[in-house]
Amino acid sequence: MTADRRTLLALFSIAFGLRILFAAIIGTQPGFNPNLVTSSARYAQEISSGFDWVKEPVSPQAPGYPMLLSIAFLLSGGRPWAGIILQAILGALTVIVVYRLGEKLGGKTCGAIAAIWLSLYANHILFANILLRDILACLLLVLLIHLLARPFSQMRYATFSSLVYAALVHVEPLYLLLFPAIAVFLLVKATRHALLNLQYFFLFTGFLLILSLPWTIRNYAVYRQPIPISLEAVDYLRLAPGVQKEKREALDTAAEGARRMSRIQQFRSNTVEFWRVTRFRAEELSEQARASGRTGEKAWSLRHNLINMVSYGLLLPLFALGIIFAIREKNRVGLVIAATTFIYCAIRVWSFGSERARLPVEPFIILLAFYAVFQIIDKVRKQPTET
């Protein structure tokens, strides 16, 4: 076994072992609720129990994660712990991709340190013990950026990137809103040749449409309307207004108070929540926010605040430095990571902001933070010594 493969195996084993250990020890404590029964888990149980979900409206949720979870349930006889093992595997695979991406960004050592940090990252370990799609979405997003971060040299890279992006939007349709940015990037930066960029763009887009056809056809058979991916996608793209009309009217009524609230105020408030490091006091909501049905978040425990300050808060200044270094050094990988982080942030905070919302881009924050650390170390070493 080569040294590189030993590194990959070690990183995977550490990440997987920590997540299983957390589930086995802390996750079984009386005060901890692992949330094994989620909407995704119920959807997965429906899929694994028969084929009624093909012809009947079962859930407005995107099918990607429930389908993968249903395979784990089928193999284990429906035991919820199979989902936790699946989550641990997905989390460990994310660590591997972060190592490879960090290798491109700042070298093997930078990638290894960033991967180890993500292995130990409390937020990532916590959500690996909840049957939600966030860990899978995080893996697919990091893998997509890993593929896009270097110039395409063969058609298969565009095809595989399209496959990963199709899987991502079938897990979380919110990422459909990233397509304009991806399209511009492919047309401008896929290679150094404009004609090749155009070819890669059409290949990426065409393959994406082909991969999206099966579930769109299923949705048309169920809802009698051309709904891409799921009803969630309809909400994000504001399509097919006739679907779930009663639900939409109820949501419109609930959001009446929120509409009175300035969009700028909402954006500012959600941005603070997205990047929040600590919460020592309960969230104070305005009358408009309460009228929209929002409930304020409780103050975090001292342990929660301390863990977040150490694992995440310390990285934020370094993350900002990493962006500056990436701009100065014209580091393509660093610039792609930074742009993805802020575009995702803008999309998320337009609707809401929270720790969970930040989860998919936390690997990028870690990567740029340690890229800054190694840039500083290199610059210190290169300084001429005084005689």
Find the mean pLDDT for residues 85-108. Answer: 95
Structure tokens at 137: 């979405």
What is the pTM (predicted TM-score) of this model?
0.87
Angle at CA of residue 231, ends 230 and 236, nearest 5°: 100
Residue 216 has pLDDT above 90, yes or no: no
Q: CA-CA distance, 83 to 85, in Å (whole number)? A: 5
- What are the residue ranges spanned by the domains of the chain? 3-382
Produce one character per residue of 106-123: b if its CB has 16 or more CB atoms within 10 Å, e if not. Answer: beeebbbbbbbbbbebeb
Q: CB 52: neighbour CB atoms within 10 A?
A: 10
- For the stretch 278-329, pLDDT in tens is 887 776 655 555 555 555 667 777 887 888 888 888 999 999 999 999 999 9
- For the stretch 118-137, pLDDT in tens is 999 988 998 888 888 999 99
Whole-number average pLDDT of the chain: 83
DSSP conformational letter for 110: H
- Supply the pLDDT for residue 262: 62
Nearest alpha-carbon partner for 59 in 39, 45, 78, 74: 39
